[in-house]
Structure 1
Amino acid sequence: MDLTGETVPCRSAFGWFNDSDDCYYGLLDPQPPGDDPLWQGNYPSGAMYQVSCTGPLPGTNGGWTWLPTPPPGFGGVSVTPAELASRAVDRMQLVGPAIGITVPPDRLGLVGVPVWLWTEVSPTTWGPNSATASVPGLSVTATAQVQEIRWDMGDGNAVVCPNAGTPWYEGGIESPTCDHIYEQPSVGQPDDAYTVTATSTWDVTWSGGGASGSLTLTRSSSTTVRIGELQVLVTG
């Protein structure tokens, strides 16, 4: 019902009716670019709406406007800050470690020789990584960072490293940050190789909409290593 007491539809081609100002509000789709001056510096908070107010000609006396929250009567679907945080995490596209290892699948390592372990450092494999998810009137930003990587080496042993590891360099023997020494060759394993699985633990914090929280995620990747024994030939 509008200010004159006349019954009007709650929704029309112009959007949802707000009986406090006799205007229809429709969410702009797509929203203007974040650098559009129509946002008046408010992006990404709130949303832009097309406003059409009642009058002699329906759909006149309006325009575009920014609002921090949906107007009264707007029939948007409600969403919690935690649900938006989950959407923000999905946008980060977090993955398992980009495995670096001194014994790639096409080479043979040796029993007793340190195998260096590391990951390529990027926003999706190590962090930090941030993303924002928004709906009209609510915006949540999440930030993720790996805290440790667990390397299951395939021989029954695991190495937990609270760092990204150190890429091998010419002349390096023992890694200064993360490595493993095999005590038995991989012969007899599937394809005569150990399966190495690296699992990163991501700590995620988020805030927005007057709420905040944290969650822990894991992402894994794997490779194989072949380990042999150094044979010493004795002649005499």
Structure 2
Amino acid sequence: MLRLTISAAGLAMAAVVAFAPAATADDGWGGADCGQVPVAGCDVSAGGGGGHNGGAVHLPGTGGDDDSAVGPDYSGCRWDKVDDYSEPGQPTTGGGWYLLTCLPDFQDGPFWVADAAPAPVSPRVLAETARNRLSLPRPSILASPAQNQLVNLPTWLWVDRGAWVPVSVTASVPGVSVTATARPTAVTWSMGDGTTVTCNGPGDPLLGGDPRAASPTCGHTFRRASERYPVTATIHWSVSWAGAGTGGTFPELTTSTTTAFRVVEIQALGAR
């Protein structure tokens, strides 16, 4: 029985055992498509002429002749692990012995199939995984006055402080851990009247003082009345990652909320 040691380097794709179409009914080997494999694959072609003992098993990329075989059409193949098989001088760990069986009556092996080491996961890939798991809060829109806004009276704008905190997620595999962190950097306000306001912070509430004073951090003054101004607050998040002795950045993320402001006019205020 022919035996072959299969290295992990040759196990890159799903196994296909390919035999040439039938030429004569008496040459021994046949065609088969093996879809069940115990490992991460290999291409195997069998050489023949004169039956099994005259053939060879060849794994592309591991050397050997690329012989073509002829024979009856086999309907399928499978790999069967042999748990109680061993050979002097052959490894006993890091893989296993397998028989190649093709219907109706072809079998070869056992073959030693080395365990393929898992491909290393790069820190960047882990960072992308962590970034995709970030759950960033949407802003709650707050304003003063709390109800109707007034023409020519400054509106103070801010988002709730709970949405203005860094958010981090860590992704890990054995031996490697990477953390992605999103930090709020600015809020863009689309005021619904054709103007946009960018604030480099969450803004501040009006706590006493002159209601005619403009917000020092984030605000807007409406010049025309409207029953419904659609107002959108968008938080911009910078995203960085660090781990495994390296790090980097991702394009910014955003979260948004939209509401409606009613703006009324009080003539006594006049234009400022």
Structure of larger gyration radius: 2
Q: What is aligned with 1:63?
A: none
Q: 1:132 aligns with which of 167, 170, 189?
A: 170
- Work out whether 1:170 is the aligned partner of 2:211: no
Q: CA deviation at 1:4?
A: 6.5
Q: SS of 1:89's equivalent?
A: helix
- Post-superposition Cα deviations, 1:172-192, rounded to whole Å, max 9, x if no partner, equal 522221100000111xxxxx3
- Work out whether 1:111 is the aligned partner of 2:151: yes
Q: 1:182 aligns with which of 222, 229, 234?
A: 222
Q: What is aligned with 1:198?
A: 233
- Work out whether 1:120 is the aligned partner of 2:160: yes
Q: 1:145 aligns with which of 159, 172, 183?
A: 183
- Distance across 2 between alignment mates of 1:231 and 1:225: 19
Moved more, 151-160 or 218-227: 218-227
Q: CA deviation at 1:11?
A: 6.6
- Post-superposition Cα deviations, 1:26-61, rounded to whole Å, max 9, x if no partner, equal xxxxxxxxxxxxxxxxxxxxxxxxxxxxxxxxxxxx
Q: Which amino acid aligns with 1:218?
A: T
- Higher RCO by CA contacts (8 Å cutoff, separation 6 or greater): 1
Matches within 5 A, 1:79-118: 79-103=121-145, 107-118=147-158
User: Cα–Cα, structure 1 residues 93 and 175, in superposed 2: closer, same or farther, change >3 Å?
Assistant: same
Q: Which amino acid aligns with 1:222?
A: T
Q: CA deviation at 1:77?
A: 6.1
- Distance across 2 between alignment mates of 1:139 and 1:120: 32
Q: What is aligned with 1:207?
A: 242
User: Cα–Cα, structure 1 residues 135 and 108, in superposed 2: closer, same or farther, change >3 Å?
Assistant: same
Q: Specify every segment of 5 or more residues in structure 2 that has no aligned partner in the other structure, as ranges.
A: 1-84, 97-113
**What's the TM-score, normalizing by structure 2?**
0.53
Q: CA deviation at 1:99?
A: 1.7
Q: Which amino acid aligns with 1:211?
A: T
Q: What is aligned with 1:217?
A: 253
**What's the TM-score, normalizing by structure 1?**
0.60
- Distance across 1 between alignment mates of 2:95 and 2:259: 56
- Distance across 2 between alignment mates of 1:159 and 1:2: 75
User: Cα–Cα, structure 1 residues 224 and 3, in superposed 2: closer, same or farther, change >3 Å?
Assistant: farther
Q: What is aligned with 1:48?
A: none
Q: In 2, are the aligned partners of 1:103 and 1:225 still within 8 Å (CA)?
A: no
Q: In 1, are the aligned partners of 2:139 and 2:234 still within 8 Å (CA)?
A: yes
Q: Specify every segment of 5 or more residues in structure 1 that has no aligned partner in the other structure, as ranges.
A: 13-71, 187-191
Q: What is aligned with 2:265?
A: 229
